[in-house]
């Protein structure tokens, strides 16, 4: 004899436990905090159990928030995404500086990912000595909420601003001076070590995989006689540099 289980019953059995939603909150609205390692760590090699334990130990009264967040490993960008419906949990994860696993302590930087009702724009001509703490209080928009602002790099004169809404305002004031808001067009991040897309060389998880930007093979640039061959992109196999 064999027991027959309907497809619907099987779906019911294997259905994942949903994340608790914020009481009285907007049904599908949640925040996503991105944790980016500051060192060469391959996040796909972190044990889900160890990662869950590390994050749970960072939360006071964790039993209260046991099912209020979920963790996603993002292989392409080599980052960890944490989704939550609770603003206080998002704030907590944004303040994390390290993740402590049984094997090591991993230094991380954090930022809030964009949701469907947020948009980014840039302004030019800011003081290169301004940090986010000085920049944000001195930016004003009469039509949009400004959620976040930061310089685009060290000693940069360009600021990246996150607004609430679907479109950016035309202007903001910076220290009471008008500045035009331009569209933000992010560039693809390409590692100069392994030439994969999604992360930078300083945190490249493929430490043993140094690739040539010309031919896409695993060797130091200029070796193996590739200087005389046609270039080949490691990512799309096209006839151009990675």
**Is it true that domain 31-112 has CATH number 3.30.70?**
yes
Task: Output the pLDDT for position 208.
Answer: 72
pLDDT at site 77: 85
Q: What is the pLDDT of residue 9?
A: 47
User: What pLDDT does 212 receive?
Assistant: 74
Using a cut of 0.85, tell me whether the model's pTM lies above it.
no
Q: Which of 187, 174, 184 is nearest to 122 (CA)?
A: 184
Contact (Cβ atoms closer than 8 angstroms) between residue 36 and residue 203: yes
What per-residue confidence (pLDDT) applies to 22?
44
pLDDT means per 10 residues, the chain with 242 residues, are 47 43 52 90 91 90 84 90 92 92 90 85 94 90 91 90 93 96 86 79 76 70 59 71 64
CA pseudo-torsion sign 232, 189, 43, 38: positive
Burial (CB < 10 A; 0-12, 13-18, 19+), residue 169, is middle
Boundaries of every domain in the chain? 31-112, 118-183
pLDDT for 122: 97
Contact at 8 Å (CB) between 108 and 38?
Answer: yes
């Amino acid at each position: 004899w064999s027991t027959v289980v309907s497809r619907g019953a099987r779906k019911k059995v294997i259905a994942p436990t949903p994340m608790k939603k914020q009481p009285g909150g907007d049904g599908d609205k949640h925040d996503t905090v991105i944790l980016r390692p500051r060192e060469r760590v391959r996040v796909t090699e972190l044990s889900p159990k160890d990662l869950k334990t590390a994050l749970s130990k960072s939360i006071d009264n964790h039993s209260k928030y046991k099912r209020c967040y979920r963790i996603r490993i993002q292989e392409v960008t080599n980052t960890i995404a944490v989704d939550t419906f609770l603003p206080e949990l998002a704030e907590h994860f944004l303040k994390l500086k390290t993740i402590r696993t049984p094997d090591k302590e991993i230094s991380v930087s954090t930022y809030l990912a964009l949701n469907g009702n947020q948009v980014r724009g840039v302004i030019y001509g800011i003081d290169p000595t301004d940090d986010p703490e000085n920049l944000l209080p001195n930016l004003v928009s009469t039509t949009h909420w400004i959620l976040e602002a930061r310089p685009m790099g060290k000693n940069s004169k360009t600021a990246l601003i996150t607004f609430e809404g679907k479109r950016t305002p035309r202007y903001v004031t910076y220290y009471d001076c008008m500045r035009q808001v331009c569209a933000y067009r992010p560039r693809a991040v390409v590692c100069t070590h392994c030439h994969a897309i999604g992360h930078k060389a300083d945190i490249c998880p493929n430490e043993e995989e140094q690739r040539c930007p010309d031919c896409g093979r695993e060797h130091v640039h200029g070796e193996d006689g590739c200087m005389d061959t046609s270039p080949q992109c490691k990512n799309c196999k096209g006839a151009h540099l990675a």
